[in-house]
Every structure is written in C-alpha cells, then in structure tokens.
Structure 1
Amino acid sequence: MAMTDEELFLASMGDVTPLAQTNHVELTRLKHSPTIAQLEKRRAAQLELDFDSNFLSTEYVDLLDPFELLAFKKSGVQEGVYKNLRLGKYQIDATLDLHGKTFYEARSALFDFVLDCYSRNIRVLLVRHGLGLKSKPFPAILKSYTNKWLQEMPQVLAYHSALSCHGGSAATYVLLKKSEEKKLENKERHAKR
C-alpha cells in the first residue's frame, strides 16, 4: 500500500522536536562588500585628507611691493650655484603659471607642482605669479604668498626673481633639492672603485 502525503510527512518529521515559543529573535549581520556609493564616499574622504596634507600657510603675510625682487637661499647653497640661478644660467625644466588663479587654487597648484617636480628629479623651475598690480584688496598678494610658500617647502633650496626675458619680477626661478634617488645615483657614480 502506498502512503498518503500526510503519512509520508509525519513519518519524515517523527524525530523533530518543536521550538519553544519566544518573542526574541536574534539577527546576525551578513557581511557585504561595500557598494559603489560607499566606495565613492571613501575615495572623496581620502581626497579631502590629501588636500589637507598641504601645509602651506594661509595666515597673514607681509605684503611686498609689486616690483620687489624675490631672493632666498638656504644655508649650504653655494654662492656660485645661487649666482647662476639668479642670472638665469640654468635650463628651466618646468613652468607654472599662477595668473588668473584664486588664492586657494594658486596655493594648491604651487604645492602640487613643487612636489611633482621633486619626485621627477626636476631641479629648476619657473613660477609665474605676476606683479599683482590689479589684485584686490591689496597689490601683490599672490606674489607675497608665493614668497612665503616657497620658503615653507623643504624641497626648495633657493629662488630668485627672473630675468626680464623670463618675466622679470613677475616670475621667479626656483631651485629644488636633488631627490634621494638622485643623491644615491651620484654617490654611486662618484664612489672610488
């Protein structure tokens, strides 16, 4: 004789004990990989952190005359090297133009430019900041901050206002340190064998 569906069900469930009645249900959290929106949010937060890594000052600066020459060198820079920079005798390897940029755009552009050039072993730069004759509320704001910012960057060894053929006092030659990679390369090249 064939068993009915009900008899089959009861036979298969014979060793099952019923659960005790309770109003408490325990939920376990399933681990899901982050959604595209969550990943994008994380990326935006990281970019914001990276932006904050820009340590260039936004505080008060002594305002310069628009036609004032910029000149700075760290101790240890040889006079001959500084003189050659001042006289524009080094090949300019990269140029940054800050004309028409807002204060924060210029700050970010200069910071990124110097770090990028340093990482690529580019040593001599030309930064065009302009005279700032028409800048508001005071003249030469960007020039004054460029002067301050370049001194704050450890990669910068020296700088001097450019010759008139490269922009005169509206532009500045900048000399960067050798990267650690270049220093090691020179050390190996000049080592006694």
Structure 2
Amino acid sequence: MQDDEFSLFKTQMHGVKPIKHDRADTGKPKADRSRIATLREAATQRVESTKVDGLSDQFVIDVGAEDELHWSRDGVQEGQMRKLKLGQVSFEGSLDLHGMTVEKARDTLWEFLAEAARLEVRCVRVTHGKSARMDGKRPLIKSHVNTWLRQHPQVLGFCSCLPKHGGTGAIYLLLKRTMLDGRDE
C-alpha cells in the first residue's frame, strides 16, 4: 500500500522543479531609506509666497504630535464648540491628508472646503496625522492644517476628534453655511 501511495505521489509531482532557495518571499520590499529621506525633504520645502487661495505659510504654528487642537472664531458660541469637541455634531464629510506634501495637502484641503461650502455642509472631519518626523521636529501637516484653518473664511472653529474618529491625528471642523447667513456667527 505504501508503494502505491509513493508511486502516485511521484506521478503527481512529475515535471515539478525543486525550489533552489529556502527563503520565503514576504512580498513587501524593504524601505528605500534614501528615497524616503528625499521625499520628506521635498515635503518640507516652503514656497516663500502667499498662494492665491489665501492660505499663508509665512508663519506656521508648530504643534506636537499629541497636542489637542482647539480654535474658534470670535462670536462662535462656546456651547457649539463644546458639542463639537464631544463629537455631538455629526460630520458629513471626511478628508485624509496622510502622506501628502505640504503643497498637495493645502490644495486638497482648499478644494475640499470649497466643495463642503458649495454643498452647505456644517461639519467635516480632516485627518492630518500626527507622526513625529525622523529629524525630531513636530508633525508637519498637522502644524500647517492648524495654521491654515485659522485663515480660511469658511471655518468657524475646529477641535481634535474623539479617539474613535482619529484622536489628536484628526479634527472636527465647523463650517459657515452661506445660505443661512446670520445663523452661524
């Protein structure tokens, strides 16, 4: 009986070539550290002019990875901001800026806010991330988003999200609704 199983096995293995190496292919190539360093350096390059969108990089408020963000325009009710911080204002849209350069993040954010204003959206979530950089400096996109949103005319206020929505790596953003002028301010 054993000979029959062995011959059956040999028949089934006919034409199969043995593997020449004993290492498994994990499918994930090792990170190219020099390429990553180049990309990070390119992401930190600043353009010394104010863009047409009005979001200036002349002064960026540096924030830490775990710092909670909180800001509101004059006239926005404290109760509304408290509800936002507690996640009681449901967000109707979400944007993820992870892995983008500063310029790409700015353009994407500007377009997203323009679309939200067009659709009369009241609250959105923006995920900026919070990863500390290899050079030991503070999170780049998080710091820029914190600065830009204070300059955007549609933004009434923002605060860091609840942990289930991204914690200090994301913010809830309260937006002005143009059709309902007078109600939001």
Please indicate, yes or no, whether the TM-score normalized by the shorter chain is above 0.5.
yes
CA gap of 1:136–1:92, structure 2 versus 1, over 3 A, is farther
**Aligned positions of 1:7-46 closer than 5 A:** none
* SS of equivalent to 2:181: helix
Contact (CA 8 Å) 1:70, 1:159: kept in 2 or not? yes
**Cα offsets for 1:86-124 (capped at 9, x unmatched):** 101011100010001111000101111111101110010
Per the alignment, residue 181 of structure 2 pairs with 183
Per the alignment, residue 119 of structure 1 pairs with 118
Cα deviation, residue 74, structure 1: 1.0
Per the alignment, residue 109 of structure 1 pairs with 108
Contact (CA 8 Å) 1:135, 1:141: kept in 2 or not? no
**Cα offsets for 1:105-144 (capped at 9, x unmatched):** 0010111111110111001010000003236572311101
Aligned residues: 133
Aligned partners of 1:111 and 1:120: how far apart in 2?
14
* SS of equivalent to 1:125: strand
Per the alignment, residue 24 of structure 2 pairs with none
Give the aligned residue type for 2:144.
Answer: Y
Per the alignment, residue 160 of structure 1 pairs with 159
Percent same amino acid among aligned pairs? 34
Per the alignment, residue 84 of structure 1 pairs with 83
Aligned partners of 2:101 and 2:146: how far apart in 1?
16
Per the alignment, residue 65 of structure 2 pairs with 66
Cα deviation, residue 64, structure 1: 1.0
Contact (CA 8 Å) 1:132, 1:142: kept in 2 or not? no
Aligned partners of 1:57 and 1:135: how far apart in 2?
25
* SS of equivalent to 1:107: helix
Per the alignment, residue 52 of structure 2 pairs with 53
Whichever of the two has the greater Rg, that structure is: 1
CA gap of 1:135–1:123, structure 2 versus 1, over 3 A, is farther
* SS of equivalent to 1:183: coil
Give the aligned residue type for 1:170.
Answer: G
* TM-score, normalization by structure 1: 0.65
CA gap of 1:128–1:135, structure 2 versus 1, over 3 A, is farther
Cα deviation, residue 58, structure 1: 2.3
Cα deviation, residue 182, structure 1: 3.0
Aligned partners of 1:66 and 1:138: how far apart in 2?
10
* SS of equivalent to 2:107: helix
Unaligned runs of 5+ in 1: 1-51, 187-193
Cα deviation, residue 183, structure 1: 3.5
Unaligned runs of 5+ in 2: 1-50
**Aligned positions of 1:113-152 closer than 5 A:** 113-134=112-133, 138-152=137-151
Per the alignment, residue 28 of structure 1 pairs with none
Aligned partners of 2:105 and 2:66: how far apart in 1?
20
